[in-house]
Structure 1
């Protein structure tokens, strides 16, 4: 026999996957064909409309109760099972086998909760009667086990069902035990027990029926005759049963009266139980309501306590001392009360920060009391910032006016007074902490205070520099050096008689007095006015924006003071232009010593002075060169060195001039080399021209080929040597006279002549080596002969 689809574990698993999440357990799953029949029409089963379906009997446990369901699953387009219909078995009222189907494998299921009874119920067709009996048998067993009633079965022979159950219960039970598990096994065992012991007939009746069937089967050959005989005997048995019931009618009446009395008692008890159940439900609801209100009251009490604590903390922030408010809004800011004002400022800043997130819980930020308090604090801050700005601005103006009008702070005629700002800084430091608080309260007001300070102190510093510079120039009496002039014959003898060193000393005093002062003022201003910049500008933590702002204020503080330094440089240049050399050295020494400072203005001032001095000295040199060029043909040659006789002497004393000295020496050596080469080539032009042609040809020709070139034969060599070496002593003497003619300084001629002889011998030696490669057999004067000739002159 073919294997039933109810034993297909893959089908069972597919059903479990389809209903996953519903907590239903699959008790039985089997493949069926669904068709739609028509009530009252016979002979048509509608198999042409049959659709494949799967019937699954499932159970769901809910506490001690178990519910049974009948699920219909269909195949999706992808061949996957998916739920289609769900029926509760407690509503199953009728199981009817369709009589029009000769195979007996088609049946319908009737449910009493279907809304429309006019539509024919679906017909389920099994593959064989075993599958049909198995489904009906499983449904009946579940209904007997967990439901109070059984559905009506129509069209099925009771005897046939009993015999089938006896033959197939053990195998079904074993299969279910193997495939499903413990729960399904228990259900199957219970079902088999119900089938055997509690089913349509008892075990004894079943044995008697088997014996009877055996007897009848042995004597009867046709089933129809046997069936008719059984019907007649059944009618006889029913008549006998009816007669027995009629005879026992009094007993039945008593039983019915007892049942009626018991029913009345049960109904009364059920009514009382219903009443008590309602009262208990109301009581339970009242208890739950009381507990809920109690929990809310406890939560409200705890929340109120926490809220009161938070509000107390908030009130502490909202309350401010009246003496601080009075100090911030009125009264003077003199030295006596400034300490109290600083304390009030510290409290104000802390109060403002305490009302800001994250110091304040965001839930309090929009409270009316917090907004009003914040507005009051903002008003206090604005009021104090205006008062502090006005007071400090007036204070600085008054202090600067006093110092400008006091003559003892400045240099006077005959009395050079070095600037001293110790008293000024002492008066300012009193308000240093107040400025720090003002920065925290209102940065715009601090910027206005900085501008006022820079404006007032700038006037005082410029006045000091002007008076000091004027007195320096007035105290030095130096005769003005004459301008270098070739036209009037002014030379080094006239210039060397004037001592102008006092000019350099005056410039050095000016820098010594004001450069450290300006650096200190810059540093003091940066700290006093609360700039957050380090002492070293190369610090990685440097705030570039703060440093840029500081330099802008320092420009306003010190701007204009450079005019007095410029005037001093111009004055020194007019007295002695050569003083620019010493002034440049002094300036560079101060510039190299101030590189680590934050006072950028001082660096710019020194750079500007250095540039101005270099420009002035450049003008002087350009003018001297212009006079030399303009008068070189009209005046006796004096040379260049005579016009700056003190430069080489100054280079030994002033270290700054060392680099210029080396530059001049290098230029001198190069000029001497060029002049000597010119003199040598003029006197021995044909000799060295011949050598140059040989060197050019050797780049492309071998030494053996050169004597065959035009103008380079041995005859040409002998002709050139005869012209160049005849009277060579006179030629060398002419070279010496050429050098002597171009120099007025006799002390330079010997060294220059020695260099000329050395360079000539080097060039001549190179010429001999070159000729020896090309013309090895030609007699030419040797280097030693030429050296002896030069030494004898």
Structure 2
């Protein structure tokens, strides 16, 4: 195949008469091993030069082409890498661009043959002696560069050896030429040394002598072969005897096997019978063990049955015995019986017998606990009726202590008597649900009637417990009527003095007292609900692995004295820090617990919402108090899955709705505010009400850790938007009826707003503060422009005419030549504008401002007067500039200076 490939490449790429391929091998690149190329050593017969060609194949045309050609002169180093397992070698070239190429042969012998051929070429041609070969193996007939350099060659013999026939034709026999080995060369040299007397001229005689020697050697070989025939015959005889002996041994072995066959069959039969017996014994033992275990598990003695039937469940000793017997009965009922044994009649009868015992005891246990729960419920109801005057909730500790010894029985009932277990849950929920309904109703009624607050600046009042409910209700209704009348009042009676009563200090005191009131309620409710939840968890075996504990310090003891660790710490996480471990329980257990607690506290949310609604009707600001306190109470809770946390969350939704409704009413009140029926309005009532509300709200949020800040900020922006709209609307409506300038109404209210908003320090109102300031400046400019007019009226009219002439094309310096605007006319106008008349006009203007301003003591008059003064000075300077431009070098000046004008303004302000 190699010869055929070489012929194809030589025919397609090289000239037959001038170039021929010395050696060709397939190679691949180390990085692209899937594509095969060819390296060919080519000799040029005409130039006697050698070259290395990289040949590639075109996949589309299926033809070969030369990719690159390097002369042997360009080769610098050949690295054989004989230790490389990938058949890799490397050739470095020198020249303009030094390059190094790496190739990998497909077979190791091809690599060494290729490199050996290159070594021979370098060895034969001294011109290529500078080529270095490195990492050549010592074997395979390679010669190092030193050996090549140490073996000089005759140029004439090398030329003869490399040349072709006389006519230059390529001899195809050279393709099969093989070099002599070292041994053959040594023998040939010795032969030539022995025949040294024969010269080149006696070559024919030497050839004849060699022929004779060859014939002699052939005859000797034939004689040796003939002499060895007898030895071969002897060897054949020995082999024949060995074969015969082997046949005899084989026949003996066959005979012995036939004798032992019967014995083997008997042994196999014995082994099978022994295995069957062993299996039979193993099955009997396993059956005996299974039956023994089944009997021991399903066996239930008469003594245990008697204990379950006749034990006194009130006695602690009998309870222990009954519990042990019940657990033994549960183990027997829950024992897993193999399917094959379940169809046995004895097993079926015994299981039915055990089920009848379990049913009997479960009904007996249910009746006992049913009567116990009923009796405890009646006692608890009597105690709660006796404690209606102290306004406290008490944990049912006595009930828990009486029922907890039966928790193991409830666990047994859940497994062995699910119907009785469900019935007991319903009985407990109905019995104590009624009790909790009455207790919560009394609790909220008591606190609803014993806390009354006016929310109008008066301090909070916690009424004494001795006050009769009738008096409390009467006072509460009176306060409510008073508040409703105040809310309907849109007059100016809500002055700054009243607003000052709603200052931050008063609001802080109000919030602190009401917060303590709410805190007291929550600290009373939390341990009761959490204690009931822990009891239900343990008693009804809803989460048997949970370790729940109620806070060790209840809010109140039985005598009514308060036992607290920290009055300000009412976070639900302090009441349920250990209870948070129960959050990983099963979902079905959580659902059962939720259902039980929902039945027990079915009226809690409605009572709490009614309580909140009561104060919301007194004043909607109470919704904010409840919203902040409950948010602080619920958000830090670690046990987000507890009943109380979820109940508080539902209550918070209602409170948030109440608060939004209250804020919506505030916004609607501002939007629908009517024009006060009086000449001077002053500061509108809803602005001062917003100020009072904002101060109180900020105190609430500040001391509540700002949990509802986004909700409040949203309503702040909405209320301010309504305030801006109502100020503009009322100002325009009032001007149409009472002729009071709308600019003055806006000026007073925006002036108050721009001072009030920074004092509140509410970040979300920064944009409203800038808008109030812009509206204030706009109203001030409009008022000054409208009512200040022009004290220098004649001068202004004169120079308006001057401006018209300038606009018509008259140059300013030529205005004095106009008859109507001559210097004499200007002096007459200046003479008529004396300081005395100006002062008189300014005094009338100041009185007009005093008439428009609602509060003479307000510094707004000074602000307006200062703006008018600046406007007058602006007009004065404008007239002076016109005189200088239109009447240059005329020495015409006004009869008074700016200092005189400032003195007039100052005198008028001091006089009033």
> Normalization by structure 2: what TM-score?
0.41
> Computing the radius of gyration over CA atoms, which structure comes out larger, 1 or 2?
1
Q: TM-score, normalised by structure 1?
A: 0.46
